[in-house]
Amino acid sequence: MDNINLVESFSEFKEFKNIDRETMMRILEDVFRGMLQKKYGTDENIDIIVNIDKGDLEIYRNLTIVEDDEMDDENTQIEYSKAIKIEPDFEVGEEVSEQIFMKDFGRREILSIRQNLVGKIQEYEKNNVYKKYKERIGEVMTGEVYQVWKREILVLDDEGIELILPRAEQIPADFYRKGDTIRAIVLKVDMRNGTPQIILSRTSPVFLERLMEQEIPEIFDGLITIRRIEREPGERAKIAVESYDDRIDPVGACVGVKGSRIHGIVRELRNENIDVINWTNNSELLIARALSPAKIISIKLHEEDKTADITMKPDQVSLAIGKGGHNIKLAGRLAGYEINVYRDTVDVDYEDVDLQEFNDEIEQWVIDALTAIGCDTAKDVLAIPAKELEKRTDLEEETIQDVLRVLQAEFE
């Protein structure tokens, strides 16, 4: 054997797909150099020639010729009497290059080389994956669901790299089976016990921002800027957009004709309601836009504790609060204020009855569902059509009809 053919010698190499031949050969050289240093005490007098095309190494040990009685280090020197057997013309002080073959390594040394080699290549691949995904944080990636567990989903990218989508980063309505395609952003990348852990997210506002960039060319080209995004994943999202070009309507461009542009994003986010509004630095106007179509009578801002007191007619309160209180909560986060709602009492109907008065006829959980959408009184509920109540509260039709029957009887 004239040299050490590493590809044939170590079949493990064939398992590594994410490493180029040149890098692999460089790692091989480092591993062999370490073994040679251990075997001979030094590697300073050793030359390793790498042949990338053939996938082999040639190793030569350079020994200095000394007089037979002056030799004191057999790892760096060779006796004159032995040197002239190799080449009769050799003289004292010259160097002899001795080739090292695979047979010169013992069984244990070969096993150690193999183990070190596989370990170093695996380490290289892990570092490569870490660096690759560290640069992709905030990007949307597509993968295939490989395994579904209770707390997380294991996803494989197109190179077979393992990614994790925790339950906390999934939209509540998400449901996946093995083999499904999944889209998410790379949220963070950590190195744990030498292994990269890549965490995905579908609930991050950044995911919605990237989807908007993909679907709306004006955002991708920078003609429209997303100023702020607030989300309740799977329920509702509010996006404030702005354009520096007066010819472009940022809201219209984002929504598209009959919602054509936003529809694909809504579907991807499991029918999450997306409100797109025009950004403004005027906080009062921003709050009014964020709560639209609910009409506001007045707004008073308190800068010291970042609260906003808004007054509106009773029939607008439930519209402003929204299902589960998501609408008013997101509007407040978008504007940076905690919003307090007050009813205009000028035209209050004093014959109205508080819903809590009916807790002997209506179950408390039903009353809670109605108050959650801003219906505190009987007439608040009666003012909203049954179908609308059903949609906003998620109560069954039969339950809604029973409630309406009880409340109508009060005023009859």
Is 241 exposed, middle or buried, given 0-12, 13-18 or 19+ CB atoms closer than 10 A? buried
Residue 39's alpha-carbon distances to 57, 66, 176, 295, in angstroms, are 18, 22, 55, 85
Which DSSP category does 171 fall into?
A: -
pLDDT at 313: 84
Question: Considering Cα of 83, then 88, then 90, then 96, what sign does the dihedral take?
Answer: negative
Write the CATH number for 69. 3.30.1480
User: Is 114 inside a domain boundary?
Assistant: yes
Q: What pTM, to 2 d.p., does this model score?
A: 0.68
pLDDT at 348: 52
User: Is 293 inside a domain boundary?
Assistant: no
The answer for residues whose C-beta is within 8 angstroms of residue 318's C-beta and 6 or more apart is 373, 374, 375, 380, 384, 392
User: Is 225 inside a domain boundary?
Assistant: no
Whether the pLDDT of residue 101 is over 80: the answer is: no
**Is the same domain home to 37 and 98?**
yes
Strand partners, 301: 308
pLDDT band at 342 (very low <50, low <70, confident <90, very high): confident
What share of the chain has pLDDT > 70, as a percent?
91
Q: What is the mean pLDDT of residues 362-369?
A: 88
Span of 40-54, 191-205, 268-282, 324-338 with lowest mean pLDDT: 40-54
User: Is 322 inside a domain boundary?
Assistant: no
The answer for residues whose C-beta is within 8 angstroms of residue 74's C-beta and 6 or more apart is none
Give 60-83 pLDDT, tens digit per residue.
888 888 887 787 877 788 888 888
Range of the domain at 58: 4-131
Give how many domains the chain has, as a whole number. 3
Whether the pLDDT of residue 56 is over 80: the answer is: no
φ, ψ at 384 (rounded to 5°) = -105, 130
Whether the pLDDT of residue 144 is over 90: the answer is: yes
Name which residue leads in pLDDT, 352 or 339. 339
pLDDT at 345: 64
Give 4-47 pLDDT, tens digit per residue.
555 454 445 545 556 676 777 777 778 888 888 887 777 778 88
Terminal CA-to-CA distance of the chain, rounded, Å?
A: 106
User: Is 279 inside a domain boundary?
Assistant: no
User: Is 170 inside a domain boundary?
Assistant: yes
pLDDT band at 55 (very low <50, low <70, confident <90, very high): low
Indicate the SS3 state at residue 77: strand
